[in-house]
Amino acid sequence: MRVTKVIKRDGRIVEFDSSRIRRAIERAMREVGSYNEAVLDKVVRYVLDVIEKTFTDERPPHVEEIQDIVELALMKYDLFEVAKAYIVYRKEREKIRKEKMAILGKDYVDDIDKRLSLNAIRLLATRYLQKGPDGRFLEDPKGLFIRIASLIVIPDVLYDPKVFDKEGNQEIHPYEEFDPEEWAGKLGLMGGDPENHLAPPFTWNSHHLERMKALYDELNSQRKMKVSWSTFLEMLRRGEFDHHYEDFLNYYRLMVDLKFLPNSPTLFNAGTRLGQLSACFVLPIEDSIESIMRAATEAAIIFKSGGGVGINYSKLRPQGDIVRSTGGQASGPVSFMRIIDVITDVVKQGGRRRGANMGILEIWHPDIVRFVEAKAKPGNLENFNLSVMITEDFWRYYESGEEYPLINPRSGDVWATLDPREIFRKIAEMAWRTGDPGVLFADNINRRNVLREYLGEIKSTNPCVSGDTRILTPEGWIRAEELFFRARLSGHVRAVAVDESLLGEGGEPRAYRTRLLTVDGEEMVYRDAEGNELRLLIPKEVEAWVWHVGKKPGLLVRTEEGYELMVTHDHRLLTQRGWKRARDLEPGDRIVVSRLHPWFLESSYRGSCDLEDDVAFALGWLLGGGSLDEHQAAWFFREGEAAAEERVRRGIERLGGNPLSHTRVLSGSEREVRYDEGTAVYRNLMGLMGSFGEGGWNGGLPEIVWRLNPGSLASFLRGLFTAEGRVSDDGSVRLASNDLEMLKEVQILLTTFGIASEIHEGLREGIPCDTVGGEASRRVGGCHELIIRGYSLRMFKELIGFESIAKLEGLLSTEAEVDPPLVTVRSVEEVGPVDFYDFTVPIYHQYVGNGLLSHNCGEEPLYPYESCNLGSMNLYAFIRRENGVTYFDWEDYSRSIRVALRFLDNVIDVNKFPIEEIERRTKESRKVGLGMMGLADALYALGIPYNSEEGFEFMRKAAEYLTYFAMLESVERAKERGSFPLFQKSGYVNGEMPVEGFYHPEMWNLDWDHLREQVMRHGIRNAEVTTIAPTGSISMIADVSSGIEPQFALVFEKRVTVGSFFYVDVEFERQLKENGLYSEKLLREVSENGGSIQGIEPPEGKEDEFRRMQRVFLVAYDIPWWDHIRAEAEISKWICAAVSKTINMPSWVSVSDIEKAYLFAHRLGLKGITVYRDGSKTAQVLVTPTQRRGEYVSFIENKTLEMMRSLGIEMPQLRKPKSEEKPLVQPVFKQPTPQPNHVETCPECGSTRIVHREDCVTCLDCGWSACVVT
């Protein structure tokens, strides 16, 4: 075409895009149900022909002229209904443009304004756009996004390899003064076009430059800047960083395309004086008035900066406890929460709105009932969301029905006891009545927390291994029980608060110092032709602490290869996919064997017994090819064993004997060397063997073997294997014995040299089980075999070997194959009360027991001074429609996730934190929280019911992609900028991953083993990358459904100062028009039906289309509450941190239903749950058919109820009970007097139309939300 330009309404001349004409006509055709592709092609060709004949680039068409031509073309082809729809659409767009111009105070709307809905423009103008002292806007939406993106790109400039040294090997440059005001508007990145709203130029303001200088100074102090500040500025002026304009553009377009939006504080404060970009913060509070008032002060500072606060009040002593300094009584946690509540009322967030608080109390606290009832009376703690933290020990009492002890945090004493089921019911009833408290599950929160062991203090212990477990120490493999008693005798007591309520019979609440061997990384020792690698563990001697927990129920973990370990249910073993609790292990799981790197033994493993090599060899031969009892010791030899016999004879000589005088011939080829009791050799031998030899040999190895130094141990094993071992036809080394205990102990000792083995039990035929001579045969019953294969054969040959040329020759032809250091779980069996011992290894948090890598114990669920740095991906923005097919663009989603991760990581660097300690803690872990919104609209577009199995599958996949690609990009960031500072002290170094889904390979859509390998090899920039946070306000900017919630209402009447109008879900409106169903009458009918289309009769002639929409377009109260929990669970599997979602319940559910909801959530692995029964906190604003009829009116077939039954939870109530029936659970609270005015009102517009979603209160009319992060 000769016409390549078009004049926009704002006077700009831009490229002519004929596809926009086609889309507009197609939209009008679909709206009236007259879509015909052939006719569409004809109309478009006619329009383009007229444009071509009428206009040129010297005289380009105006957009209004093009629209006039379209109207004429539609009329020409008798498409009168389509023309009418097009004209109506055109007029409506004109009306919207004028409204937007009026709101923004502009005489035109640009491309960015057009992308935003009228609702979004209103919200931005009300809350987010910067204003001058006169109230006029200093920016429009495009300016807002430029302001944010130009701040976020600053770290990309400073981390440029031209000036940044990741290793920190630079000299610290002298500090230089800098006045940001002087340089404001003079510096930027060259690029962009003032006429192109999608690629605008920019310069930095003084607030941007102040953050730039702060980040430079921080990196300079870490010796990471290659140039001085003045040199850097000069480079910036010369344009040496202009290539980072592309980074700016990526961040800018991610937002203007509405694919991603950061949390509200970033929208408010980026590039402004306040500069605080985080949404929420965790504050500590100790049991002192000084700490309480400090927390109050810090909370006020945070509220002022625009953030919200979470505090765990569990350390405060209970009401009525003594206060020694005054002789008075403590007032308890709830009274101090009122201080924070008042401060919240007074201090507005960033001067814009009141703050928000999360108050937590752990269920063992004596004031738990007061806490649960704290909001029973309207007006109390209005600025708080409350949550009870249910700790892991509670569930044992709940199941058994035993009285649950309440512990005074000041003294650790039992304050009182209560019925665990009663307090559980109290929590449920209070939530039934008021919506508070929510519930948090400490065990689920901590399950995949990669920083738990480093940041968490030991406040309650989880017992670990049984007393007979062999623990690897510098002095040998010592039983846990002996280690404890030896450590206790040393007198080195650790002042540690071990919760006595968790100790078993005979347990002791004090820890003692000891020394263990832990693992300090790994090193590759072999790579085969296929590239498979064998990595062995590097041992390191460390200080540790041990205590006696006492008798507890336990589990015996058995492996197919023969390794065994007796542990508690909570004990964690390192699996192929990270640490896993024993109770969660399943047959087929792969556990890591602690194969040590022999090169590093000398510096860590000394042993406490140094036997001469020949003596150790003779001892090995005796236990393998000899006889030992309370009267004699005898060694037996066959023909061809001369070399071994000679070495044994030398060992006997060192024991004080003359072997020649004690040798007798048993047959032509068999000889015996025997020493009876009373001889020097026998006495010396018994001195070495200790109690092992008393009363005869009853199996296993003598204690001295466990304490031999590496050289002596290798000689012992050489003697044992030379006597009893063989090289089989398949090249493997085999050691046969009927003493299964001895084989299992040898198996553990072999790991000291990095050698793996397997044991086959109960083999009888074809194996030379008996030694020579009837006297020598100690074996009765079945025969067992220890087998060494793969690369372990090479290690065996080099480090142990045989004292037999024939057997050594059998090893020459063996080819080395990588034998991975993994064994397979065969069974996990319950065992009765067992004496358990616990270990803590500071920093490393792991030790070796029975040849398996174990994790030490302890948990603390919340870390003080952490912050939330949040943003959300808009799933609906990745819906694509091509050739009549709607699909989700997973490729674009993956790319955009990576850009969003870079955005949020940069937020940490340019954030102006309100408190110094918050900045330090945040930068130690660099946690970010990338989330999702628009889930319901994406499912609507794809035609998938929210609570269908297909819907749950989509949720899992969307969450999996979110975390996978965010972590993958975080690894790339680590390569460029370094890992988060605590990386080496995190679970990542051991292969742990922060999401539950990783431990379920059957769920994988992506290569998580590759990601795990990348993290272990290169590190990762952010300790956590994903969180599903509330998105109330930012989802309104994007004009999509909130977070992961189902849509609250498809249509509702929105009231503003100039009147009211219908707000219609964007995808619902699109499909109504596409199916020819759109009408004012239907919108009103849906609005009056509580925003639901269930139960509405379909328009005549459109029954099929409407029925299809009824199946897909479900709103929150159309979906059974158990499916809400299921949705949260499916998404939680792939999210690093918290998932924010409200479990909406109709008003007719019972207290018993809420109890079942809590149990279901906990057993599904949720970290927490917030239920909201309609009408419990506010008036019923939207009454859906489910609420009106007292039963769910839409059922989608799925597996959720079957899952509930399989978890031992009774069927929930499916409909409202008849009036004559008694309630399922009698209330445990006295019902309060009804409060006629108990209706929350919006603090911004005064509306009473308040709804609850995403754990938040939201106003339907102005969009106000009580949540900071939205």
Question: What is the maximal distance between C-alpha atoms in the chain?
Answer: 125
Instruction: Answer whether residue 1222 shows pLDDT above 50.
Output: no
> pLDDT tens across 56-83, in order?
988 999 999 999 999 999 998 999 988 9
> pLDDT tens across 879-910, in order?
999 888 999 999 999 999 999 999 999 999 99
Q: What mean pLDDT is predicted for residues 996-1005?
A: 94
Q: Is 63 helix (H, G, I), strand (E, B) or coil?
A: helix
Instruction: Answer whether residue 837 shows pLDDT above 80.
Output: yes
Q: Where are the beta strands (DSSP E) in 291-412?
A: 308-312, 322-323, 328-329, 348-349, 353-354, 357-362, 384-390, 404-407
> pLDDT tens across 193-230, in order?
888 888 999 999 999 999 999 999 999 999 999 999 99
CB atoms within 10 A of CB 374: 23
> pLDDT tens across 361-391, in order?
999 999 999 999 999 888 788 888 899 999 8
Residue 1202 has a pLDDT of 95
Instruction: Answer whether residue 499 shows pLDDT above 70.
Output: no
Higher pLDDT, residue 523 or 982: 982
Residue 867 has a pLDDT of 76
Degrees, nearest 5: CA angle 1006-967-198: 100
C-alpha 455/C-alpha 983 separation (Å) is: 12
Residue 754 has a pLDDT of 94
Q: Which of 522, 859, 960, 1053 is catalytic?
A: 859
Closest alpha carbon to 451 in 995, 1027, 987: 987
Residue 669 has a pLDDT of 81
Beta strand 384-390 with 438-441: parallel, antiparallel or unpaired? Answer: parallel
Instruction: Answer whether residue 771 shows pLDDT above 60.
Output: no
Instruction: Answer whether residue 349 shows pLDDT above 80.
Output: no
731-760 per-residue burial string, b: 16 or more CB within 10 A, e: under 16: ebbbbbbbbbebbbbbbbbbbbbbbbbbbb
Q: What mean pLDDT is predicted for residues 172-193?
A: 94
> pLDDT tens across 524-573, in order?
888 777 777 888 999 999 888 888 888 888 999 999 999 999 998 888 88
Q: Which string of DSSP letters, residue by residue, matches 87-113?
A: HHHHHHHHHHHHHHHHHHT-SS--HHH
Residue 1060 has a pLDDT of 61
Peptide bond into 437 cis (omega under 30): yes
C-alpha 693/C-alpha 605 separation (Å) is: 27
pLDDT level of residue 990 (50, 70, 90 thresholds)? confident
307 exposed, middle or buried (CB, 10 Å; 0-12, 13-18, 19+)? buried
Residue 1 has a pLDDT of 65
Long-range contacts, 972-975 (Cβ 8 Å, 24+): 972/898, 973/901, 973/902, 973/905, 973/1021, 973/1022, 974/1018, 974/1019, 974/1020, 974/1021, 975/1018, 975/1019
Residue 861 has a pLDDT of 30
Residue 1239 has a pLDDT of 38
283: which strand partners?
Answer: 311
Residue 324 has a pLDDT of 65
Residues 6+ apart with CB under 8 A from 342: none
Degrees, nearest 5: CA angle 1143-1147-1151: 75
Q: CA quadruple 585, 587, 588, 590: dihedral positive or negative? A: positive
Least confident of 15-29, 324-338, 449-463: 449-463
To the query of whether residue 1002 is one of the catalytic residues in this protein, the response is no
| CB-facing half-sphere around the CA of 41: CA atoms within 13 A | 2
pLDDT level of residue 458 (50, 70, 90 thresholds)? very low
**% of residues, the chain, pLDDT over 70:** 88
Residues 6+ apart with CB under 8 A from 305: 265, 269, 274, 276, 349, 350, 912, 914
Q: Where are the alpha helices (DSSP H) in 978-1088?
A: 1008-1018, 1032-1038, 1066-1074, 1080-1088
Q: Is 996 helix (H, G, I), strand (E, B) or coil?
A: helix
Residue 193 has a pLDDT of 87
Q: Say how far residue 750 (Cα) sits from the centre of its chain.
A: 36
Contact present, 540 and 599 (Cβ < 8 Å): no
CB atoms within 10 A of CB 619: 29
C-alpha 1023/C-alpha 1076 separation (Å) is: 50
Residue 776 has a pLDDT of 36
C-alpha 1269/C-alpha 307 separation (Å) is: 8
> pLDDT tens across 1107-1162, in order?
999 999 999 999 999 999 999 999 999 999 889 899 999 999 999 999 999 999 99
Q: Which of 263, 269, 449, 462 is catalytic?
A: 462
To the query of whether residue 859 is one of the catalytic residues in this protein, the response is yes
Q: What mean pLDDT is predicted for residues 1167-1193?
A: 80
Q: Where are the alpha helices (DSSP H) in 998-1120?
A: 1008-1018, 1032-1038, 1066-1074, 1080-1088, 1103-1112
pLDDT level of residue 9 (50, 70, 90 thresholds)? confident
Instruction: Answer whether residue 579 shows pLDDT above 80.
Output: no
Residues 6+ apart with CB under 8 A from 1063: 119, 1051, 1052, 1053, 1054
Residue 525 has a pLDDT of 83
Contact present, 266 and 907 (Cβ < 8 Å): yes
Instruction: Answer whether residue 1231 shows pLDDT above 50.
Output: no
> pLDDT tens across 724-749, in order?
899 998 889 999 998 899 999 999 99
To the query of whether residue 453 is one of the catalytic residues in this protein, the response is no
List domains and CATH numbers for the chain. Answer: 5-109 (no CATH), 457-594+825-855 (2.170.16.10), 613-820 (3.10.28.10), 1049-1112 (no CATH)
- One-letter identity of residue 514: T
Least confident of 585-589, 764-768, 1099-1103: 764-768
pLDDT level of residue 457 (50, 70, 90 thresholds)? very low
Look over the chain and give the mean of its residue pLDDT values, rounded to a whole number: 86
C-alpha 560/C-alpha 294 separation (Å) is: 56
C-alpha 23/C-alpha 26 separation (Å) is: 5
Residue 456 has a pLDDT of 44
Q: What mean pLDDT is predicted for residues 779-795?
A: 79
Residue 502 has a pLDDT of 59
pLDDT level of residue 787 (50, 70, 90 thresholds)? very high
Q: Which string of DSSP letters, residue by residue, matches 774-789?
A: TTT----S-EEEEEE-
> pLDDT tens across 1030-1043, in order?
887 899 999 999 99
Q: Which of 280, 857, 1136, 1256 is catalytic?
A: 857
